[in-house]
Amino acid sequence: MGGPDRLNGGLSIMKIVFITVTTRILGWLPLFACSILGKSLGPLVYRLYPSRRKVTQRNIAACFPEYPERVVNQLSRAHFQHMLIGIMTLSIAWWASARRLDKLITVRNIEYLESCMERGENIILLAPHFTNLEILGIWLFTRYKMAAVYKPNRDKQVDDFIRQRRCRFKGKLYQHTGIQKELIKDLRRGVPLYYLPDQDSGGWGVFAPFFGIPAATFGSLGRIAEMAQAEVIPCIATISESGRRIEILFDPPMQNFPAGNAVEDATSMNRVIEKLINVAPEQYFWSHKRFKTRPEGEKPFYQ
C-alpha cells in the first residue's frame, strides 16, 4: 500500500518544516547578531568536527606554505566561524525582502557589470565558493533577471522548497548536469549567468594549478563563455570586519578569456579565484576537499 513512499513523504515534510522554522528564526536576526553568534559558536564546531577541521587545515597549509602552524590554525578557526555566519546569512537571503537585502549590502565596482549590460554584452558572473555566496546570488536576483547553476538536493520535496526560496525574485535555476542548450540560449538572449565552477571536478575536468597545486578543475567556464560569446566578471560577497555589512565586490572582466585551451582557461580562472581569496581568505570554502582528485600516480591528498 505504498508504505515506504508514505514514510519517505512524511520524512520530507518533517525536513521541510524543520528547515523552514530554523531558517525563519535565523532570518529574523540582525546581521550583527549573526556575526556574534557565528564567532561565538565557531570554535565549538571547530572542535566537534575533527574530519572537516583537518581538511581545512590541510588546504590552508598547502595553499599558504609561508604560514606557520599557528597562523594556519587561527585561519582555520576563523573559517569555521564564517561558515556558521554564512548559514545565518543564507537564512536572511531566503526570507528577507529585497528592501532589507539592499540595506545590508555595500557594493563596490558594480560599474563593471552594469557597463557590460548597457553595451548589450552577454555576461557570466564567476562567483567562487565564499561563505556568503547565497546572499550574493539572491541579492543579484532581486535586481536582475538572471540564471544560476546549482546542485539539486537528493530529496525532491526539499529541493523544490529550496528552489522556491532562491527563485522568488527574478532568478532561474539550472541543475548542475553539464552544459545545457537552454542555458546557452538564455545567455545569448542576454540573461546573465551566476556561475560557481571552483570545486573539485572529479573525472570531469582538467588539472590546473590552484595556489601551485594541481587541482581537478571544471573546464566548463571557458566553453560556455566561448559558445555564448560572454564576458566573465568575477564577484564575491564577504561580511565586513564589524559584522554589520555584506560587502559585494566586482572585479574587471577577465581579459583574453577564453583562450580556447581547456587547461589554459582553467588556469586563468584559478588565478582570478586566488586573487579574490586573498581579499578575505578566512571566508573561502576551505572545508571542501578541493584536492581530493589527484593526477594519476599521485598519493591521496587527505590522509
Per-residue pLDDT, averaged over 90-116, amounts to 97
Q: Work out the pLDDT band at 7, boundaries 50, 70, 90.
A: very low
CA dihedral sign of residues 202, 203, 209, 212 = positive
Q: Which of 24, 35, 29, 72 has its CA nearest to residue 247?
A: 35
**Percentage of the chain modeled with pLDDT above 70:** 95
The answer to whether residues 106 and 245 touch, using CB atoms and an 8 Å cutoff, is yes
Q: Work out the pLDDT band at 4, boundaries 50, 70, 90.
A: very low
Whether pTM > 0.85 for this model: the answer is yes
Asked whether residue 6 carries a pLDDT value surpassing 80, the answer given is no
| Residue 303 or residue 248, greater confidence | 248
Query: For 130-142, what is each residue's pLDDT tens digit?
Result: 999 999 999 999 9
Alpha helix positions (H), the chain: 3-28, 31-48, 50-63, 69-95, 98-104, 111-118, 133-143, 156-166, 181-188, 220-228, 262-277
